[in-house]
């Protein structure tokens, strides 16, 4: 990696050592002393005035006050924010989000064409603040930055499990911190209709169990998002995934009612009837109401997974009719892969859950698109894998330049079959920060080790912002243990990963919306940091078996794990809620003990440890197996 930095008060400013995520397009260390944050720190606004800038400057100052513990008064304008124009009244997909940030000992200056870039610059500035041996400083630096993709979204399904507004707000804070700019709000599905319609109140009254957002609440979220440079795109899934609509309005259905909210997962029959003209009258009034509420230029109509073959054949006609309604209300239609059809105008946007191939195909046909395939958080893949999925990946290599330009970006997807308001943040963060970097940073930013180094910092930044991905973890473990004494349980949970959607469904085919999400599998988090650390130790040790430090630490971990089941077993025996933790705990202690011993081990046993145990996975099993394999201690039993 190119080393372009110099030594500044102990801060090594090599490219790989910048503490910024997503990595800027261009970053160069300055030659002077750093800027010191002092009691008179303040942000001065120059150029246009916009309430977003004032709010963002106030938030930044409050965050720096919390970080440094300083109380700022009578500011000396250490940071100047120069913004050229006020930006669009409704944030648009093609707005310039670039900014420049320069810092030296005299102060910092952010210049940006509009408030979007200025706000991104403030986030970068915050990340650069560090406490060195002398105090709080920002290294001298020159940054020119702009996003690689214009559409950098996060999709949250609030239908399968309702997610309250305060959780949405926290996630918007997290999105702003990593420069995501679209919140895609999946507001209806078979399992719930989550927004108030004044025109058709039975939608929320009968379709939501009372768990829905008021229009005032939605307006507040839209304002909150705008204040953070984030667009809000609503999705109303139709004509399939629509059971919750039909509870209150069965006359829209393709088959006779009555209908109930569906409590189970998967693809279900209830569908709006594409052949019924009243459906379009209804949708015209409904979309008209929602188009007024949501100012964004795009309107997502879902359009995925229609189950009934007869309706599938009618879906093209349905989409054309709905597209006309959406256009009539001044919006551009967006939908999942299935809506792709040459009969639709070219100004719609295709969101690909099927894969980059279908996205490339859409681009070839002249459609804009965004990638979600590969960014499904409920598949519980590690950040290292999510990070390397590229909206312009292999499939797009064959595309012409203007076809490539149609690929606007991507969206992280958070589906909530096995996700609650309590653990959603641990499913989204910090992994989403790695994907956010893919959407923002130059294509060649692909160093996984450096990504993880910075991901740890962002993880901590998100904690400071109030996100609960870490806080709720401990709280859930305490609930499982029934006390604050969670040492042994945490040792296990730290190396346990929840199974992906498919595994959970396989293990618990009867799970519904009412199934408790309070077990070890729900508390355990994706991409175990302990497992990653341990795997790194094993790499180091296998590369050089004489390295005492890694050898010694590996033994410490194995000793901890091998003795852990004996400590945890009495608690598990007492508590029914911990029953499914028993086999995972036993396997962990067993293979750790095997790794410490010198006897041979059966291959079948070693392989079983690396496979799912119930609906969980032992995240350190693979690294432990590598250790045992490397010592030639595996016996193929027959």
- CA gap 620, 537 in Å, rounded: 12
Known active-site residue 278: no
Query: Quick one: which of 576, 598, 636, 638 contacts a copy of itself (CB under 8 A)?
Result: 576
Q: 225: how many CB neighbours lie within 10 A of its CB?
A: 23
Overall size of the chain counted in residues: 638
Measured from the CB atom, the residue of 67 and 86 that comes closer to a copy of itself is 67
Q: How far is the CB of 564 from a copy of itself (least distance, A)?
A: 14
Q: How far is the CB of 596 from a copy of itself (least distance, A)?
A: 17
Residue with tokens 């012409």: 400
Query: Quick one: which of 67, 211, 297, 582 contacts a copy of itself (CB under 8 A)?
Result: 67
Q: How far is the CB of 259 from a copy of itself (least distance, A)?
A: 18
Helix, strand and coil content of the chain, in percent to the nearest 5, comes to 45, 15, 40
Among the residue ranges 214-222, 247-255, 339-347, 457-465, the one whose residues contact a copy of itself (CB under 8 A) = 457-465
Measured from the CB atom, the residue of 475 and 502 that comes closer to a copy of itself is 475
Peptide bond into 430 cis (omega under 30): yes
Question: Under the criterion CB under 8 A, does residue 457 sit at the interface with a copy of itself?
Answer: yes
Residues 410-449 that bind a copy of itself (CB under 8 A): 422
Measured from the CB atom, the residue of 487 and 547 that comes closer to a copy of itself is 487
Residues 373-392 that bind a copy of itself (CB under 8 A): none
Q: How far is the CB of 626 from a copy of itself (least distance, A)?
A: 24
Measured from the CB atom, the residue of 481 and 503 that comes closer to a copy of itself is 481
Is the separation of the CB atoms in 90 and 78 below 8 Å? no
Q: How far is the CB of 523 from a copy of itself (least distance, A)?
A: 11
Query: Quick one: which of 2, 10, 309, 638 contacts a copy of itself (CB under 8 A)?
Result: 10
- CA gap 355, 470 in Å, rounded: 31
Q: How far is the CB of 475 from a copy of itself (least distance, A)?
A: 5
- CA gap 181, 480 in Å, rounded: 37
Measured from the CB atom, the residue of 289 and 580 that comes closer to a copy of itself is 580
Residues 458-497 that bind a copy of itself (CB under 8 A): 459-460, 463-464, 470-471, 474-475, 478-479, 481-485
Residue environment code for 568-605, b if the CB has 16+ CB neighbours within 10 A, otherwise e: bbebbeeeebbebbbebbebbbbbbebbeeeeebebee
Query: Quick one: which of 133, 343, 543, 599 contacts a copy of itself (CB under 8 A)?
Result: 133
Question: Under the criterion CB under 8 A, does residue 573 sit at the interface with a copy of itself?
Answer: yes
- CA gap 230, 252 in Å, rounded: 34
Q: What are phi and psi of 632, to 5 degrees?
A: 65, 30
What is the separation, in whole angstroms, between the first and last Cα of the chain? Answer: 49
Among candidate residues 268, 274, 256, the one with its CA nearest the CA of residue 314: 274
Please tell me which residue in 305, 403, 553, 629 is annotated as part of the active site: 305
Residue with tokens 């399992």: 191
Among the residue ranges 60-68, 167-175, 214-222, 308-316, the one whose residues contact a copy of itself (CB under 8 A) = 60-68
Q: What angle do CA 11, 14, 17 make, to 5 degrees?
A: 70
Residues 35-54 that bind a copy of itself (CB under 8 A): 39
Among candidate residues 583, 582, 627, the one with its CA nearest the CA of residue 609: 583
- CA gap 617, 619 in Å, rounded: 6
Question: Under the criterion CB under 8 A, does residue 513 sit at the interface with a copy of itself?
Answer: yes
Known catalytic residues are 305
Binding site for a copy of itself (CB under 8 A): 10, 39, 66-71, 73, 130-136, 422, 456-457, 459-460, 463-464, 470-471, 474-475, 478-479, 481-485, 513-519, 529, 573-578
């Amino acid at each position: 990696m190119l080393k372009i930095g110099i030594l500044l008060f102990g801060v090594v400013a090599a490219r790989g050592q910048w503490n910024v995520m997503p990595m800027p397009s261009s970053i160069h260390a300055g030659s002077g002393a750093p800027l010191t944050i002092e009691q008179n720190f303040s942000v001065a606004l120059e150029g246009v005035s916009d309430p977003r800038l004032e709010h963002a400057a106030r938030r930044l100052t409050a965050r720096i006050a919390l970080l440094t513990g300083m109380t700022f008064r009578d500011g000396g304008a250490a940071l100047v924010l120069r913004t050229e124009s006020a930006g669009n009244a409704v944030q648009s997909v093609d707005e310039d989000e670039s900014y420049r940030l320069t810092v030296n000992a005299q102060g910092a200056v952010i210049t940006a064409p509009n408030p979007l870039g200025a706000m991104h610059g403030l986030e970068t500035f915050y990340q650069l603040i560090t406490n060195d041996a002398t105090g709080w400083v920002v290294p001298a630096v020159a940054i020119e930055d702009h996003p690689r993709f214009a559409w950098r979204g996060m999709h949250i399904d609030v239908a399968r499990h309702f997610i309250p507004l305060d959780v949405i707000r926290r996630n918007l804070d997290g999105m702003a911190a990593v420069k995501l700019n679209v919140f895609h709000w999946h507001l209806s599905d078979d399992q719930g209709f989550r927004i108030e319609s004044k025109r058709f109140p039975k939608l929320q009254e009968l379709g939501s169990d009372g768990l829905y957002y008021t229009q005032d609440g939605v307006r507040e979220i839209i304002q909150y998002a705008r204040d953070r440079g984030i667009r809000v795109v609503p999705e109303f899934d139709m004509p399939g995934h629509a059971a919750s609509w039909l509870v209150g309005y069965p006359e829209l259905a393709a088959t006779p009612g009555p209908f109930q909210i569906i409590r189970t997962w998967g693809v279900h029959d209830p569908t709006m009837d594409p052949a019924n003209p009243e459906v379009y009258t209804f949708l015209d009034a409904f979309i008209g109401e929602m188009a007024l509420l949501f100012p964004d230029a795009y309107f997502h109509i879902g359009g995925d997974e229609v189950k009934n073959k007869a309706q599938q054949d009618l879906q093209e006609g349905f989409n054309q009719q709905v597209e006309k309604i959406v256009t009539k209300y001044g919006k551009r239609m967006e939908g999942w892969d299935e809506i792709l059809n040459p009969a639709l105008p070219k100004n719609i946007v295709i969101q690909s859950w099927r894969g980059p191939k279908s996205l490339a195909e859409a681009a070839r046909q002249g459609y804009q698109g965004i990638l979600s395939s590969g960014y499904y958080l409920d598949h519980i893949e590690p950040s290292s894998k999510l990070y390397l999925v590229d909206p312009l990946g292999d499939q797009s290599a064959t595309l012409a330049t203007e076809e490539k330009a149609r690929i606007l970006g991507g969206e992280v997807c958070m589906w909530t079959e096995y996700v609650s308001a309590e653990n959603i943040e641990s499913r989204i963060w910090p992994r989403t920060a790695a994907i956010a970097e893919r959407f923002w940073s130059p294509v060649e930013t692909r160093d996984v080790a450096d990504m993880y180094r910075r991901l740890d910092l962002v993880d901590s930044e998100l904690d400071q912002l109030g996100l609960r991905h870490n806080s709720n973890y401990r709280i859930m473990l305490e609930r499982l243990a029934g006390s604050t004494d969670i040492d042994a349980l945490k040792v296990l949970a730290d190396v346990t990963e929840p199974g992906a959607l498919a595994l959970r469904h396989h293990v618990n085919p009867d799970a519904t919306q009412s199934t408790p999400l309070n077990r070890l599998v729900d508390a355990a988090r994706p991409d175990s940091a302990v497992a990653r650390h341990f795997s790194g130790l094993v790499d180091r040790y296998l590369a050089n078996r004489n390295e005492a430090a890694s050898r010694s630490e590996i033994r410490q971990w194995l000793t901890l794990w091998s003795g852990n089941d004996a400590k945890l077993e009495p608690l598990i025996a007492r508590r029914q809620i911990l029953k499914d933790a028993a086999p995972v705990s036993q396997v962990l202690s067993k293979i750790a003990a095997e790794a410490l011993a010198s006897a041979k081990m059966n291959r079948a046993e070693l392989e079983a440890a690396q496979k799912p145990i119930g609906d969980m996975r032992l995240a350190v099993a693979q690294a432990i197996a590598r250790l045992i394999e490397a010592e030639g201690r595996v016996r193929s039993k027959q």
